[in-house]
Structure 1
Amino acid sequence: MKKLLLPLAVSAALAGCGGGETLEDVKQDTKPVTPVASVKFDPSNGVISVPNDILFSGTQDGTLNIPGELDGDSKPQVSRASYADPSLALGGLDGWSTQMPYQIGLNTPSGVTIDAATVAAPGAVRIFEVAMGNDGQTEACAQLTPALACRVVSELTFGPTGDFVSQLSSDGQNINIIPVKPFKTNTTYITVLTTNIKDGIDGGRSLTPSSTYTLLRQEAPLVTDAQQSLQAVIRSYERALVASESISAEEIVYTAAMTTQSTGAVVGSIKQLLAATINTERQPMVTVAEQDFVSVADKFEEFGLAATLPPELLQAAGGIRYLKGNIQLPQYLSRPKNGESAALADTYWQAKCDNGVAVMAATAAAGGQLPEPAAGSLDEQCQQLSGGQLRDLGLDAQKFVTKYNPIPEEQWVANAPVQITFPLSPAPETGFPVVIMQHGITSKKEDMLGLTLALSQAGFATVAIDHPLHGERGIDVDGDGNDEFNASTKSVLHYMNLQSLLVARDNLRQSTADLLALRLGLHAINAASQVPLNFNTHDVSFVGQSLGSIVAPSFIAHANLPFTDERLKQAEPLFKVGPAALSSGGAGIANFLVESGSFGPVVKTAVLQGASDLAVSKKFGSYLQEGAVADCSAFAGSASAFASCAYNTFVANLEAEGDLASIGAINATVDQFAYASQTVLDSADPLNYAPLVRAVNTPMYMSVVVGGEGENKGDQVIPATTLPRNPLGGSTPLAAMMGLETVTESQQSTDGTAGRYVVNFSQGHHSSLLTPSFDKQTGGTAQGHAQATAEMQKQVATYLASKGLLLPITDASVIAK
């Protein structure tokens, strides 16, 4: 990790897009007699708050243009590996975050302070959803360029029960805008600051525009093409707003458009690619070779899990058959070239084709006559897969996977082990229903065996695979039998890659793609097994734990969404997933990682080490080499535990020294990183797939350990909420966005409609679904944790077996009220 995102340092992307002598003259000629607060906005000098669609200016591929990314001819001047830089990583995106709070910077002269109450009042900040040019719904909009606003669609609601709130930052230098509900994906919004924002002088004077913004909003002709282009953009915003009759021109102080990222296009393309393999030799299939009898009890002993179970349960596990199968999974992540951690930096997904923006621009420039494809190109495939919209003509240097280029290139095929269990009792006539189980981060598929007894007793067979870079799917680069990269045995950062955020995002998307392939591959399991199996592969449910719950909304939504291509309709039943049970998941990945009691210090350590230009970073580096070795010697055997100890001890020392400046620098750096990382991770974040889960109406159950009883702190890995950092992060907001009903008593459907529930637990810990063991970090009691496990497993098994019609809550002592 190199430098961090600097929200106001964007001059390289906007050189010549304002300023020049004309803007400088205006600034010199419009000095106010008395100082008045204004909005920071001067693109020619690199002063602009993000998110802002001005950073799409000059885009060649529909992605953001970030400082340092492009040369003077708007061509990439950095390598793929350079996008490991958190700020440059934004240059691979087709839009901004749907959920991150953002700031608009202010110029406040000495002695002038903004009245915080006016910022937090309705009408101070207003946000409008807008249709932009090239929008096909109206002829007038279709005739405008995509950079220009055409019309207002609706206005968002202000307030804690609405869509967003606003507040003055603690230093008085920024206006914070905080989404209470996520913005829609792939949608443009205009944020407006109004004259209702006032200072505390002479009864309150209104906030004013910057001189640059004042110039751009006027009709006066400007000098350069870039200036005129930016003027047209700003004036289109204000015209659309005023035309809606929701606001007058006199009320507007500042406007900024932001287009949110697309989310479903890429994974949707993968589902289509998988469907196209059906009945071909490339179709994923779960195969099972002949093997000796092994019970789940045997595996409990082998994996060291037997100690967590009472003898009667261990004995019962002897009645569950354990098998090992395999499946060939298409991998869109490229393999690292060597065993150094930096080798992961450029393994993020690459598109198969030239993006649609580049193809359209080249077609227009060539008068409709594009060059012939080079020998060996994928041009024919690209045209077939995209209905002629995408080509492979060497037009796209970076080939970022976006809504304009949604088809990823398959890099290799992983031979992934599949864990299979089923009861020894005779199968029902239709075969054993199947549960796909997906484990958590730093865990492995074998850890899900802790749930198999409850599921087997309910009559289920189970299948599980490792996430990429976990368990048996680590990467051994040099072939010596030892993995260089494995999040289960080496470092969590191999998967949740904070050194390369695009890789972290695509690890998450690869997990989803693998589950879709596994779901399709299950249909071969009976025929392709050399061990007699009778599985009902048309009756498949899902259980996700931790990371398995994070990727679940994307997987479930895409598995159950209908194909838009009529030719693929017959494949829909082969992907369908029934009821799902999620445990200890959460949304707002960057935010909950920062707030996590377990991972937060590890994340902050990585961020602080990466911000090498900060004095406090150098001080921390020295501490890691010297003081931490002694202070944290008890944790020397665990890199994560050592990092947590070192960070917490270092910050405690700063607090003891009264070094508030260093603490403030750390917090600001972490905030900047959280903004950049969440923005990059957004297209894989479960919050953006929660509405799709509601749309497909998949029965859903979720358990969350919120704590409360016996000093139980609640989940220390993924917190229930990430307040006050972000109201949309954590487990509880995800459950709410999926439309789950919080219940504290047993539920039974009376009309045959499956219920969709979330149960909050006062006892237990992050992994209670799988193990009754006591977790000291969480607190509470050993008995309470064991009871929580029993209650969770009973709820999951019964809910899935009843197809969501029944949810038993039998031990009220572990349920939060």
Structure 2
Amino acid sequence: MNHKFKISLLCAAVLLAGCGDNSSSSGTSDTPQFEDSIQDLLGRDGSIDFVLSGTNANVPVPSSLLLDPTDHTLNIPVSPGEPTGLNNPSVAMGEADGWSTVMPFSIDLNFKQGVTLFNDLDESGFSQNLTGGILVAKVIIDPQSQKIIDYKPLTPGADFIAVSGDLKNIKVLPLTGLEPNATYIYALKQSIKDSNGKQLGTSPSYAMLKSAKPQGGDLSAPQKMVWLIESTFGANSVETDDIIYSSMFTTASVGQSIKAVAQEMSKADPSKTWEPGHTANPNNIPAEQLKELYTFENVTQIDFGEALLSDQLFLSLFPNAEEGLAVAEQMKNLYLVAKAFTKLKGITVYRGTVKLPYFLSNNLENDQWKTQPWRSAMPSVLKILSVLSSGSKQDQAHLVAQLVKLGFSPENLPLQLANPANQAKLFGAKLLLTNGEQLDPERILTKYSTLPQIRSVQDVPFLMFVPEVDEGNNGEDFNDNLPLLQYQHGITGIKETSYLFALEHISSAIQNPNYDKPYALIAIDQPLHGQRALSKEVVTTPSNPTPFMNLEYLPVARDNIRQGAIDGLGLAYAVQHSPEDLSAFSTIDTSNISLMGHSIGAITGISSYAAADVNNGEDFYYTSATLANPGAVIAPFLLESQAFSGQIKHSVSYNGVPEYRAYYQQSCANDEQISDIKCFDDFYNKSEQNKQMIDYTLNMFAFAAQTVLEPVDPYNVASLVDKDAPVFAIQSNQDTTIPNTVKTMPTAGGQPLLAKLQLSNTMLGTQGKTKLASYFKHAKHSTVIAPDFTSEKDLAAHQEMASEIVKFTLSKGNKDGNFNVKNDDDLLDNTINTDIN
């Protein structure tokens, strides 16, 4: 995987901004003389490919040299002629406020003819030669002194390994992921050997930064960074003369925007946060409409049996009306049997709408829904601080005057701005420079500008199943204060898939001797799914997953996931604050809402769950969470997904490889017998050159996509889940949609996420544990929703999954100790253990 981001000019790297083209600052002029120890590192057969200017300019990634200091976003140079919109993955990375926590560092090397790295690679590409020559450490930098005040080295072989695919590039692969929103330094030592057994060397550009001779102008800042890194390693028993390359970088922040919206939900008047006429509310949504957020309308009810036969959305799940009605009749018969032979009196199906804030565009004109990501409701605090520290005196004075009008004191402004409690004063603010230009017109969401602009208030349809049971033997009423399970469906699904398991959950609950009552279920569609389609074409379906997935505009793909998480939060908040006289919720214990997310619903669900417990749970929270078939490190696992990888590879290659696009248009576009996936496979296998082109493009895409998706990736969000919050997960051995593991990425897939969440295998004991996972041997991705009736093992897995979800939910996450699983090692795998618990 080669992540070579070329820099056409030195000034494209922001820390080197404002540079000229004089050879004395480029590191590529007449060969200068350095200290003997540095001179000895030059002119070797193999060296680091680090060049600061010229046509071969190159900076290994990750690097703070590719960070915009004015707003803390990545600034990846774009070559002349490349697209400059967000459909260019390199430009899309500019929406990220840091580097990936999981993607490999990538360091290219230069070799003389016939020379490569020393080949001690095993089958996985691991190299002890490389791993032993690399240092990585997490550091904390004091913002005032700019000195490193904390140093925690990572352990080679445990925290990271080094690999190489072609013996001309080094990749440093985090084994358990780095911390979000953290700073790291790393270095390569000359102990790394080439194929002749000789030590690797450095480049003239790095030698210039490493040298004790001070560099002026544009090179001053990067040189001071290198000095800081090397001196830090030197203070920790590393011989700095051995360092041939070093760098520093910051990882992306995670969950900030979702948390910001969650905190604003509890405000009495949303129109004060997203005030009409201000930049937080660009479409000028009236205050009256904003005040209606999180309220329910148009509530109707119908009996479950009748709903099965009349709900056209449910019937649309099946290939044709005849098959749908046949299944509906079978389910109705099961419902009637449950009513006749158990204490179930009936299930009422409620439909209605809930008003939720929408931060995406829903405008079909010019595909704005597809191209416009979330935008910040406030100017970046870092951009404000940048002007206050290095802007002109006129701009500084003008900015201070505006901040004072917003409620800030003119004294100690940096300290005030750094306090999150004060940042609410910036919501909706439009700050101007003396020339009349707006400060931060881009409004990119970062950790310095977390709250999104509201674009609309949506009436989101909900579907709810509320059971009624017989009285107890002594006349007890078990129909009051029912728990509620909130279901978030998977990609290409719809909320009506809840019909497929609602009766089974309720039936299982009422037959459980440990509990007197079942729970109700509620669901809404994910954005751009089901009833939230923007048009007949703009809706995510099994045959068209791209509206939500949005491979073309990666920041919007990220924000579709954000929106799904916020929608889940909004629904929970609306239920917990619903009026007592609303019939749909009159029997619901609104303080006892649990979450069940499946597939992408588990990916949005973990963000909902992590963000819900704000203000110590005083405003709203979940009791427990069930994550069915979740996955982490989204971009790499999608490229391994049997369900999606073919279409993704076609789409990415069509947009990124001109040769494939021409081949497709000539050989496939007009032939209905050739699918997109077959066309891609045919082209890919035609020649080794085609494979190299495609592999390079897909690797670059995966790196860019994962970098953009970092704020919502479950692997990162897992670190935000409270250590005491109950979590139950389900993994299916035959999952072809979200792979359980990804061979080339140790953090990707379902199983690494369950390890990150520190979930214990249920087959190894459940007593006293609230973080658990069941690993099903014979189950598919969709088994938890509906079984494959042609397979006895899949049916058995489905029934056990339902039973386990019911018990975990009713026990409030095994808080009462009543959660258990079927002791059947043909059904459940007892060999999987993360060794973390």
Q: What range describes the TM-score normalised by the shorter chain of this pair?
A: 0.7 to 0.9
Q: Please give the secondary structure, in 2, of the residue aligned with 1:206.
A: coil
Q: Provide the aligned length of Structure 1 versus Structure 2.
A: 734
Q: Please give the secondary structure, in 2, of the residue aligned with 1:176.
A: strand
Question: For residues 115 and 696 of structure 1, what CA distance do their matches in structure 2 show?
Answer: 44
**Map of 1:336 onto structure 2:** 363
Pick the aligned partner of 2:531 from 467, 472, 491. Answer: 472
User: CA 1:734/1:42 → structure 2, altered by over 3 Å: closer, same or farther?
Assistant: same
**Map of 2:179 onto structure 1:** 184
Matched, 1:577 2:612: no
**Map of 2:795 onto structure 1:** 786
Matched, 1:396 2:391: no
Question: How far has the Cα of 1:86 moved from its partner?
Answer: 0.8
Q: Please give the secondary structure, in 2, of the residue aligned with 1:182.
A: coil
**Map of 1:461 onto structure 2:** 520
TM-score normalised by the chain length of structure 1: 0.84
Matches within 5 A, 1:92-491: 92-117=95-120, 119-121=127-129, 122-134=131-143, 142-144=144-146, 150-159=148-157, 162-167=158-163, 169-201=164-196, 204-223=197-216, 225-243=217-235, 245-277=236-268, 282=291, 284-287=293-296, 289=298, 291-295=300-304, 298-299=307-308, 302=311, 303-304=314-315, 307=326, 313-316=334-337, 319-338=346-365, 342-364=367-389, 365=391, 369-371=397-399, 386=423, 388=425, 391-393=429-431, 394-425=438-469, 428=478, 430-457=480-507, 458=509, 459-476=518-535, 483-488=536-541, 491=544
**Map of 2:281 onto structure 1:** none
Q: Which amino acid aligns with 1:591?
A: P
Q: Which amino acid aligns with 2:208?
A: L
Contact 1:323 1:420 (8 Å CA) reproduced: yes
User: CA 1:53/1:10 → structure 2, altered by over 3 Å: closer, same or farther?
Assistant: farther
User: CA 1:490/1:235 → structure 2, altered by over 3 Å: closer, same or farther?
Assistant: same
User: CA 1:485/1:558 → structure 2, altered by over 3 Å: closer, same or farther?
Assistant: same
Question: For residues 545 and 487 of structure 1, what CA distance do their matches in structure 2 show?
Answer: 16
**Map of 2:739 onto structure 1:** 719
| CA deviation string 1:587-642 (max 9, x = no partner) | 011111110001000110111101143x244224433225x533x3xxxxxxxxx4
Contact 1:129 1:155 (8 Å CA) reproduced: yes
Question: For residues 574 and 389 of structure 1, what CA distance do their matches in structure 2 show?
Answer: 23
**Map of 2:604 onto structure 1:** 551
Matches within 5 A, 1:650-661: 650-651=683-684, 654=685, 657=686, 659-661=687-689
Matched, 1:676 2:685: no
Contact 2:468 2:479 (8 Å CA) reproduced: no
| CA deviation string 1:95-127 (max 9, x = no partner) | 000111231110111122211439524531110
Question: How far has the Cα of 1:336 moved from its partner?
Answer: 2.7
Q: Which amino acid aligns with 1:164?
A: F
User: CA 1:493/1:812 → structure 2, altered by over 3 Å: closer, same or farther?
Assistant: same
Q: Which amino acid aligns with 1:529?
A: L
Question: For residues 316 and 258 of structure 1, what CA distance do their matches in structure 2 show?
Answer: 62
Contact 1:189 1:258 (8 Å CA) reproduced: yes
Pick the aligned partner of 2:806 from 771, 786, 797. Answer: 797
Q: Please give the secondary structure, in 2, of the residue aligned with 1:399.
A: coil
Contact 2:578 2:585 (8 Å CA) reproduced: no
Question: For residues 719 and 585 of structure 2, what CA distance do their matches in structure 1 show?
Answer: 40
Question: How far has the Cα of 1:369 moved from its partner?
Answer: 2.7
Question: For residues 739 and 10 of structure 1, what CA distance do their matches in structure 2 show?
Answer: 45
Contact 2:489 2:601 (8 Å CA) reproduced: yes
Question: How far has the Cα of 1:557 moved from its partner?
Answer: 1.1
Q: Please give the secondary structure, in 2, of the residue aligned with 1:678.
A: helix
**Map of 1:609 onto structure 2:** 654
Question: How far has the Cα of 1:719 moved from its partner?
Answer: 0.5
User: CA 1:343/1:208 → structure 2, altered by over 3 Å: closer, same or farther?
Assistant: same
**Map of 2:821 onto structure 1:** 808
Question: For residues 804 and 336 of structure 2, what CA distance do their matches in structure 1 show?
Answer: 22
**Map of 2:23 onto structure 1:** 21
TM-score normalised by the chain length of structure 2: 0.82
Question: How far has the Cα of 1:494 moved from its partner?
Answer: 0.7
User: CA 1:669/1:532 → structure 2, altered by over 3 Å: closer, same or farther?
Assistant: closer
Q: Which amino acid aligns with 1:673?
A: F
Contact 1:748 1:807 (8 Å CA) reproduced: yes
Pick the aligned partner of 1:501 from 554, 558, 582. Answer: 554
Q: Please give the secondary structure, in 1, of the residue aligned with 2:74.
A: coil
Pick the aligned partner of 1:730 from 749, 754, 764. Answer: 749
Q: Please give the secondary structure, in 2, of the residue aligned with 1:24.
A: coil
Question: How far has the Cα of 1:810 moved from its partner?
Answer: 5.2
User: CA 1:27/1:759 → structure 2, altered by over 3 Å: closer, same or farther?
Assistant: farther
Say what the alpha-carbon RMSD is for the aligned residues. 3.1
Question: How far has the Cα of 1:155 moved from its partner?
Answer: 0.2
Question: For residues 531 and 151 of structure 2, what CA distance do their matches in structure 1 show?
Answer: 50
| CA deviation string 1:682-736 (max 9, x = no partner) | 111011011222x342111111111xxxxxxx11110101112x11110000110
Pick the aligned partner of 1:520 from 562, 573, 577. Answer: 573
**Map of 1:639 onto structure 2:** none
Q: Please give the secondary structure, in 2, of the residue aligned with 1:235.
A: helix
Question: How far has the Cα of 1:268 moved from its partner?
Answer: 1.3
User: CA 1:320/1:154 → structure 2, altered by over 3 Å: closer, same or farther?
Assistant: same
Question: For residues 532 and 110 of structure 1, what CA distance do their matches in structure 2 show?
Answer: 74
Pick the aligned partner of 1:49 from 44, 60, 76. Answer: 60
Question: How far has the Cα of 1:516 moved from its partner?
Answer: 1.2
Contact 2:299 2:352 (8 Å CA) reproduced: no
Question: For residues 117 and 226 of structure 2, what CA distance do their matches in structure 1 show?
Answer: 25
Contact 2:92 2:708 (8 Å CA) reproduced: yes
User: CA 1:252/1:389 → structure 2, altered by over 3 Å: closer, same or farther?
Assistant: farther
Question: How far has the Cα of 1:5 moved from its partner?
Answer: 7.4
| CA deviation string 1:562-606 (max 9, x = no partner) | 43xxxxx6xx33321012111111001111111000100011011
Contact 2:134 2:186 (8 Å CA) reproduced: yes
User: CA 1:105/1:317 → structure 2, altered by over 3 Å: closer, same or farther?
Assistant: farther
Contact 2:45 2:111 (8 Å CA) reproduced: yes
Contact 1:130 1:154 (8 Å CA) reproduced: yes
Question: For residues 292 and 106 of structure 1, what CA distance do their matches in structure 2 show?
Answer: 67
Question: How far has the Cα of 1:36 moved from its partner?
Answer: 1.6
Question: How far has the Cα of 1:418 moved from its partner?
Answer: 1.0
Contact 2:637 2:749 (8 Å CA) reproduced: yes
Question: For residues 189 and 656 of structure 2, what CA distance do their matches in structure 1 show?
Answer: 36
Question: For residues 794 and 102 of structure 1, what CA distance do their matches in structure 2 show?
Answer: 44
| CA deviation string 1:388-436 (max 9, x = no partner) | 5775302102110000111111111111011111112266375111110
Identity of aligned residues (%): 26
| CA deviation string 1:137-180 (max 9, x = no partner) | xxxxx223xxxx62452001111xx211112x221110011111
Q: Please give the secondary structure, in 1, of the residue aligned with 2:232.
A: helix
User: CA 1:629/1:131 → structure 2, altered by over 3 Å: closer, same or farther?
Assistant: same
User: CA 1:384/1:32 → structure 2, altered by over 3 Å: closer, same or farther?
Assistant: closer
Contact 1:289 1:531 (8 Å CA) reproduced: no
User: CA 1:16/1:44 → structure 2, altered by over 3 Å: closer, same or farther?
Assistant: farther
**Map of 1:138 onto structure 2:** none
Contact 1:331 1:414 (8 Å CA) reproduced: yes
Contact 1:770 1:789 (8 Å CA) reproduced: yes
Contact 2:527 2:560 (8 Å CA) reproduced: yes
Question: How far has the Cα of 1:66 moved from its partner?
Answer: 2.3
Question: For residues 543 and 582 of structure 2, what CA distance do their matches in structure 1 show?
Answer: 33
Question: How far has the Cα of 1:531 moved from its partner?
Answer: 5.2
Question: For residues 41 and 479 of structure 2, what CA distance do their matches in structure 1 show?
Answer: 85
| CA deviation string 1:40-65 (max 9, x = no partner) | 101223211111110125x3222122
